């Protein structure tokens, strides 16, 4: 086996096996990604059915994100000696239970609990999946392999969220969670059949935790939290923005989310390619682009055509950051890849939680005009991400 995790990386059979395994990971990512994002398309329906306000329904996104952020490190520590395939299967099983419970939830509290149960699987699945994806290819293709796995998230937006939103609007939001449960079962079978058995690298847990205390690793986590928080400050409330400000019909939102999904697919693919060439410079450039796009959304959201363009560009900019932020963490904490990768997924979701919370505060208290100020707030949050990335760039340059 070579240093990149393949016995014969250059052979056609090895390349075919790697591709099949990566697609299996993508399938699991699709199921989990649909669970993460689906509430955004069903926010009004859930709020009305459970008799809560839109901001309170938005906290279902915050609760999920906090479940990822808090649960991921504990699960990773508890299972760090577990074979990676067995761990992926365990996580998918918990994911299925969480979504079935969400479909049956009789109250807001039970739905929040179900969301947190499903969220416990998210960080570890993407963290372990990122490590496995990086091991299945040669060194110069690692960001691209990670991007391929994260394509599951983008496909969840292109296909899963719009279809799930349509199902929820036509048959009730609970039907959407039953559909996700079924997809989770298919994903479980896919991982069982297609992902190879890969043992966790021998390592002492104390050594891995020690690596994570390094300043460069902490800065990398802050890069991820604030680099992505702006995305969810705006995107959590994208349906009210599109309906109440831009004036789109409610039943058109699912189609607009497809446009966003196309954007994040392109951003994810090309973000991975850029990260494989110039990692930190490309990240800085993409984050600057993200700031500009969020500001553009705030400036043009009263005009339908301009809003559609901004939504597409938001998708490109948002997920253009993901492969680079994940690879930067793997590079920064090479001695603790699984734990570091999982914590970075937790950092993404801390950013999600922070963003959803900030957007809700702006709406709840009417800051700067309430809903209309949300994209501008998101833009300012992303500026903090740029500052931390510049800090990380400086550390990397000194090293």
> Would you give per-residue pLDDT tens digits along the chain (399 residues)?
343 444 443 445 555 566 677 888 888 899 898 998 788 778 888 888 898 888 888 888 888 878 887 787 788 778 877 887 888 899 999 999 999 999 999 999 999 999 999 998 888 888 788 777 777 777 777 777 777 887 887 788 778 888 888 899 889 999 999 999 998 898 888 888 777 776 655 556 676 677 777 899 999 999 999 999 999 899 889 989 999 999 999 888 878 888 888 898 899 889 988 988 889 999 999 999 999 999 999 999 999 999 999 999 999 999 899 889 988 998 888 777 777 878 888 888 789 889 988 999 999 889 988 999 999 999 999 999 999 999 988 887 775
Residue entry with tokens 């959803």: 356
Report the pLDDT value the prediction gives residue 13, as an integer from 0 to 100. 53
Residue entry with tokens 């808090």: 70
247 dihedral zone (left: phi>0; alpha: psi -120 to 50; beta): left
Is the separation of the CB atoms in 230 and 356 below 8 Å? Answer: no
What's the rounded Cα separation, in Å, for the pair 77 and 207?
12
Is the separation of the CB atoms in 138 and 4 below 8 Å? Answer: yes
What's the rounded Cα separation, in Å, for the pair 280 and 389?
8
- Please give the distance of CA 336 from its chain centroid, rounded to a whole number: 21
Report the pLDDT value the prediction gives residue 391, as an integer from 0 to 100. 94
Report the pLDDT value the prediction gives residue 202, as an integer from 0 to 100. 56
What's the rounded Cα separation, in Å, for the pair 284 and 328?
12
Distances (CA, A) of 329 to 91, 206, 218: 22, 19, 10
Residue entry with tokens 């996104």: 61
Instruction: Give tens-digit pLDDT for 44-93.
Output: 888 888 988 888 888 888 888 788 877 877 887 788 778 878 888 999 99
CATH class in words for 12-398: mainly alpha
Instruction: Give tens-digit pLDDT for 132-180.
Output: 777 777 777 777 777 788 788 778 877 888 888 889 988 999 999 999 9
Is the separation of the CB atoms in 307 and 297 below 8 Å? Answer: yes
Q: Is the dihedral of CA 373, 62, 96, 24 positive or negative?
A: positive
Domain residue spans of the chain: 12-398
Report the pLDDT value the prediction gives residue 282, as an integer from 0 to 100. 94
């Amino acid at each position: 086996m070579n240093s990149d995790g393949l016995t014969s990386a250059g052979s056609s059979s090895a390349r075919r096996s790697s591709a099949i395994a990566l697609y299996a990971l993508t399938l699991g990512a699709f199921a989990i990604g649909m669970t993460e994002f689906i509430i955004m398309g069903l926010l009004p329906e859930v709020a009305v059915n459970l008799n809560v306000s839109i901001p309170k329904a938005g906290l279902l996104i915050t609760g999920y994100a906090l479940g990822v952020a808090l649960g991921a490190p504990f699960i990773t520590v508890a299972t760090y000696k577990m074979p990676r395939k067995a761990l992926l299967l365990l996580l998918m099983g918990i994911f299925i239970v969480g979504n079935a419970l969400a479909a049956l939830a009789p109250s807001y509290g039970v739905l929040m609990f179900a969301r947190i149960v499903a969220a416990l699987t998210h960080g570890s699945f993407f963290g372990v999946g990122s490590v496995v994806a990086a091991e299945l290819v040669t060194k110069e293709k690692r960001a691209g392999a990670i991007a391929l796995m994260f394509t599951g998230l983008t496909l969840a937006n292109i296909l899963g969220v719009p279809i799930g939103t349509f199902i929820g609007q036509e048959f009730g939001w609970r039907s959407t969670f039953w559909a996700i449960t079924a997809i989770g079962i298919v994903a479980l079978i896919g991982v069982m059949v297609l992902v190879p058995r890969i043992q966790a690298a021998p390592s002492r847990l104390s050594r891995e935790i020690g690596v994570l205390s390094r300043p460069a690793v902490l800065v990398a986590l802050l890069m991820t939290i604030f680099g992505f928080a702006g995305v969810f400050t705006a995107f959590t409330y994208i349906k009210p923005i599109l309906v109440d400000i831009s004036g789109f019909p409610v039943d058109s939102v699912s189609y607009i989310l497809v446009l966003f999904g196309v954007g994040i697919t392109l951003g994810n693919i090309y973000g991975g390619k850029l990260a494989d060439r110039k990692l930190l410079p490309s990240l800085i450039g993409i984050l600057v682009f993200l700031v500009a796009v969020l500001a553009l959304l705030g400036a043009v959201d009263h005009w339908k055509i301009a809003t559609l363009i901004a939504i597409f560009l938001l998708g490109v900019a948002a997920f253009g950051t993901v492969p680079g932020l994940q690879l930067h963490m793997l590079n920064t904490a090479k001695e603790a890849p699984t734990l570091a990768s999982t914590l970075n997924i937790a950092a993404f979701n801390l950013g999600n939680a922070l963003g959803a919370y900030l957007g809700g505060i702006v709406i709840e208290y009417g800051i700067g005009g309430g809903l209309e100020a949300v994209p501008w707030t998101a833009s300012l949050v992303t500026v903090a991400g740029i500052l931390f990335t510049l800090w990380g760039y400086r550390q990397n340059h000194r090293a």
